[in-house]
Amino acid sequence: MDGLISVAHGLTSEQVASAKSNHIPRRSSRSLSAILRANVFTLFNLVIGVLWALILIFGEWQDSLFGLVIVANALIGIIQELRAKRTLDRLAVINEAPVRVRRDGAEREIHPRDVVLGDLILLGPGDRLLVDGEVVHSDGLEIDESLLTGEADPVHKQPGDQVLSGSFAVAGSGAFVSTRVGTDAYAAKLAEEASKFHLAHSELRAGVANFIKYITWLVIPIGALLIYSQLHNSADLRTAVTGAVAGIVTMIPEGLVLMTSIAFAVGVVRLGRRQCLVQELPAIEGLARVDVLCLDKTGTLTAGGMDLDEVLPVSDDRRLVDEALAALANLDDRPNATAEAIRARYPAAPGGWTARSTVPFSSARKWSGADFGEHGAWVLGAPDVLLHGGACLDRATELAATGTRVLALCRTGSLAGTESGEAAAEPVALVTLKQRIRPDARETLGYFAKQGVTLKIISGDNPLAVSAIATGLGIPGGERSIDARTLPHGDPAKLGELLDTHTVFGRVSPQQKREFVTALQARGHTVAMTGDGVNDVLALKDADLGIAMGAGSPATKAVAQVVLLDDKFATLPYVVGEGRRVLANIERVSNLFLTKTFYAIVLSLTVGLAGMQFPFAPRHSTLTNALVIGIPAFFLALAPTLERSLPGFVPRVLRFAVPAGVLCAVAVLVSFWAAHSGTSTLLEDQTAAVITLFLTTWWVLVLIARPLNWWRAALVGAMAVLFAVGMALPFVREFFALEPGDLSNDLTAVGISILAALMISVAVKLAGTLRP
């Protein structure tokens, strides 16, 4: 008996102080030491560091400027990721839902980390289980363990049953005593993954990683060949070392990973300022690829909460109807939105209406009920589920067609019989509720229509009611609705066809929402799913991008990749726009960096095999790379854009960078050879090669920066002006070892550059890699 009393009252303050806490290190972002290691100790930094040391030993200090890239890359990367870390850590704390426990006989809400071993934890619909435990009280408690077992059907829990972290309550209420907390909990890792900022798989990052991997393998043999060639053919060691280093350094796309990380980090910070928590980094990429957006009407198109409109009795006994509604609305200490709306008019249960047994509401059964003994068994739910024909159902259908939410209040022989379908439900009244349409819904939906994102309205409500709301908001195809109960089961192909041709779907079960996502993905769509209730969890988890509303259940926020913390539907256009900005711009800068890599590979191979002098020194490469890649890439990576990212990132970049890089290299070699065959000095020959290198790669920048709006035109124009000014100023020419003294060489270089630019334009147009 003492044990039961202690369980009912929960732990005392003294017991809490000495118990093991639910402490798991927060990993919403990398630690400071991990950020430092990731940005400093990289393979490219090691290679560039060694080359930097060689130049400092054997060459002139001006040729070692490329070594500053190590410092700049590390500092910029560290600063940006620290900004993202602060944003994520702050938002992760906001997103952590409190846990309801009973201590010292009183109910209280505590932080998840303050849960201790032996705590009495209270559960209601939508609550996520953060620790393992044993059920001590159950009032129709149903737990969804699909995230652990893959089984979609909720499990009824009785006292003595075990519950595991990572699952969540979908119906009923109850309590359990925690038996394993912290790192001992079964799904501690899963629980932490919900708010972890990590570099999971994505096409973009995988593509960049593959570029880096293959280029690394190419650098080793080509670099060795170049070093041998320069040492074998140069008159002095200094010239040989600087020539070899110039080729190797140019092959390395040292800024590509940095720009990718910066673009993602800045995207996270920008969205964070709009109270949008990005829980997984690839979500940024998913935002850009989305072409189908599935919206759950409740909580997205409609604002949270409803208002009770009318109670329409079927019989003349209005008092009985009011008492039954009041009794049903006041059953649960944690009422859902429907019960709250009814409770606002019926704040207290009538005397003598004591529930002997209850069936909690769930989105699968679409009704709830209770057996009140001598007053009978009553149920409240969807008319088309509880009623089987008749004038009352016809009237409910008419009301639903206006966009009103309609419920049927029925008396039934038994709750068990109603659930099995054996007992008929006798209609007593129809209850209508007004739903609050979000004021920003129409404008937001219009944005998606303009951007080519197809909308699918998926709801558990009556399809006619959902269709009325969709039509009122101007959603294309909103007038055509389908009752999901009539959809084919076990035929994804047929289901996919219906999903492609229809927009509004009502009476959709949680499992069907998941099937919708799978069917759309099978037809090649990138699917985003929004939701706020526990019935959305499975679909959110399987969607390419799960978006949870901030006011939604803890379970939905745990599995979604993006959480709109301020619950504003109007934030979604900014979310999608940020994703498109990141991916489109990373593709642009990848074209820049890899064009440089490929022209360096061609130059190094040709020079190494031919045994000739390398056409420019490291300082020349530093100058051109800064003007046509480094500075422009920084601005292009962070620029606004509305282009939707398309699959095929890697082949598309290669189709651009390979021909552009090869033609740039050929132009530089021809210019250097033409100048070298005359009477000019080596410095004048290298200057001609640098002019050609700048002009051809500057034209590549022009192609990549299109469409040339005012700021992009100003950017590429400024780079040309800076190069011209540098060539005109004596101290700049001296610093970068430039000597444009041979007019014939310089004009030849300009002519070769123009011809190469035309050939590059034709090549990339034929490859079809650039948008106009």
Beta-bridge partner residues of 109: 100
Instruction: Tell me how far apart the alpha carbons of residues 175 and 498 are, in angstroms, rounded to a whole number.
Output: 43
Euclidean distance between CA atoms 16 and 116, whole angstroms = 7
56 to 237, 302, 601, 625, 737: CA distances (angstroms) = 13, 66, 24, 20, 17
Tokens 């890792």 appear where?
189
Among residues 213, 215, 246, which one has the least CA distance to residue 229? 246
Q: Going by DSSP bridges, is the β-strand pair 99-103/106-110 parallel, antiparallel, or unpaired?
A: antiparallel
CA angle 538, 455, 399 (to 5 degrees): 85
Query: Which amino acid would we find at residue 75?
Result: L
List, as one string, the DSSP characters of 341-382. Answer: HHHHH--SPPTT---SEEE---TTT-EEEEE-GGG-EEEEE-
Beta-carbon neighbour count of residue 366 at 10 Å? 17
Q: Give SS3 for 460.
A: coil
Q: What is the CA radius of gyration of the chain?
A: 33
Half-sphere exposure of 1 (CA within 13 A, CB side): 0
Main-chain phi, psi angles of 591, to 5 degrees = -60, -40
What's the angle, vertex CA 645, arms to CA 640 and CA 648, rounded to 5?
140
In which region does residue 140 sit, left (phi positive, over 0), alpha (psi from -120 to 50) or beta (all else)? Answer: left
In a 10 Å sphere around its CB, with 0-12 CB exposed, 13-18 middle and 19+ buried, how is residue 490 labelled?
exposed
Parallel/antiparallel/unpaired status of strands 276-278 and 155-156: unpaired
CA distance 246 to 600: 9
Cβ atoms 426, 409 nearer than 8 A: no
Give the contacts of 130 (CB within 8 A, at least 6 positions apart): 22, 99, 112, 115, 165, 185, 191
Nearest residue to 697 (alpha-carbon basis) of 617, 606, 630, 604: 630
Residue 469 and residue 517 in contact, taking contact as beta carbons nearer than 8 Å:
no
- Nearest-angstrom CA–CA distance, 312 and 307: 15
- In degrees and rounded to multiples of 5, residue 256 shows phi and psi of -65, -50
Decide if 742 is catalytic: no
| From 63, 296, 536, 685, the catalytic residue | 296
| DSSP state letter for 425 | E
Kindly list the catalytic residues: 296
